[in-house]
Structure 1
Amino acid sequence: MGEALQLYTYWRSSAAYRVRIGLNLKGLAHDLVPVHLVRDGGQQHAADYVALNPQHLVPTLRHGERVLTQSLAILEYLDEVFPQTPLLPTSAEARARVRALAQVVACDIHPLNNLRVMQYLERTVEADAARREEWTRHWMREGFAALETMLAGSPDTGRFCHGDTPGLADCCLVPQLYNAHRFGVDLAPYPTLQRIEQACLALPVFDRARPEQQPDAQ
């Protein structure tokens, strides 16, 4: 398929960060379309963007006339349409393991800490900044403890989350650790996560996807 790839992204969105890593790992040329999640009341709420993504979220991927949402669905779509440099291993058991690692981040940690949850806690629950930040750190620690056990206790863990080639789980882990650094989570209890993060960020494809490297970074 020769159609252009466009990623609607926000520099600090960890979900969009996942997809940027995946696109880079696969060597897929793509254009970035910034959607500022705070400016103008949140550009993700503009009518033209909501027509693409009814959830008012990033990322959204355009591939020709096709429009895809949800970061894990996008990454698996890319893996199926562009099978070079696969993000998932070949066996059913290994794919299930990698998906489980990815979903600890994408389904259990991140949804409790994203922007709309923080805004709800601030505006509706009236939680102050200190309480919101402790909420964020708590759910990251819970998820990281599980991930550390899952990774450190498995012979399938290599240099990266699964073996010695980065894939779907690494695409999810690295952005979540970026959030952890941002919110001051103590990562000392998670040496395996830190080791994998360092191995990933040493690769140019991960480095280019970092939030501070994005054209809309502030």
Structure 2
Amino acid sequence: MDIRILATGSSGNCYRISDGHTALLLDAGIPFKRIQQGLRFKTGDIDGCLVTHRHGDHSKAIPELSRRGIPVYGPKDLQELFPTVTVANTQCMLHIQTLDITAFFVHHDVPCYGYQIKSTVTAEKLLYITDTAYVDYTFTGVTHLLIEANYEQEIIMNKVRAKKVSACLAKRVIQTHMSIETLLQLLKANAMKTVRQIYLLHLSDSNSDAARFKAQVQQQTGAEVYVF
């Protein structure tokens, strides 16, 4: 599976994935011009866009994608904001050419999806999870994982005690984003023997430690780990 990070973090999120036959965007939270630049202006190669939720750092470019004829899929309340969006039903598999896609709910402060994407050609299985405190499900056969590792509990609580972060903000982060501790628990609970690559996304600039996060995940999984 070819994976390209166009943007990640609170300023915008957008990723391109392809099995060599079908190409998708995961989220579209940056200006369309930046998407064009990230794709070297080959937006005509994109077969669809899966959006996790309605927040602007994940949905900003939806109107322009739709104007360009790129189908966009996401939760029902996303369709209420952008009528061109097709609702991805969590009860039914979505098929986009050579990719079979399953949407599932995660835990954010608005309705939010994670996506499991399997290629019918390569048999690779990619899991995309972001903007959630935790995940209710377990998965098997995952070969590629794009997942949030936003903060470390000790770092953020030390900042609260030092009054560098408000308790209110810390509570919101903890309730709506995934910590490295929760991610490590998720990896332990799932069969990760097949995973080849893990991309750690949406790291907080001030509440994370990229080098330590990478080392911890590598030690637990043995996979290639990339941090963004």
TM-score normalised by the shorter chain: which range applies? 0.3 to 0.5
TM-score (norm 1): 0.37
Structure having greater relative contact order (Cα 8 Å, sep ≥ 6): 1
Higher strand share: 2
Higher helix share: 1
TM-score (norm 2): 0.35
